[in-house]
Amino acid sequence: MSINIDLPEGLNLSAFDLSMMLASKLFEEGLITSGQGAEMTGLSKQAFVELIGKYGVSAFQTPSDGLEDDLKNA
């Protein structure tokens, strides 16, 4: 699917940055996989995972309750 968005003048964001912002957020919300995010941005899966931190998203998408269980069992 393709969409067109009118952005404010002077925003100075590249198409790549916009793609990364959208893909990172979709990944963070659990709506897409890292592989799908990589495909959306034209990156390898490894490069996508390495770059999402720049966009405020953690590569580790473990629910906090699962993390608490893991710590109890450690």
Supply the range of the domain harboring residue 67: 15-73
Q: Looking at residue 63, what is its pLDDT?
A: 59
Closest to 56 (Cα-Cα) out of 10, 17, 7, 15: 17
Under 8 Å between Cβ of 51 and 61: no
The pTM of the full predicted model, rounded to 2 decimals, is 0.75
Q: Looking at residue 3, what is its pLDDT?
A: 86
What are 48's two structure tokens?
Answer: 């996508």
Model confidence over 45-73: pLDDT tens digits? 999 999 999 998 988 875 555 666 667 77
Under 8 Å between Cβ of 25 and 57: yes
Residue 40 within a domain: yes
Residue 6 within a domain: no
State the distance between the two ends of the chain, measured CA to CA, in whole angstroms.
44
Report the number of distinct structural domains present in the chain.
1
CA distance 33 to 46: 12
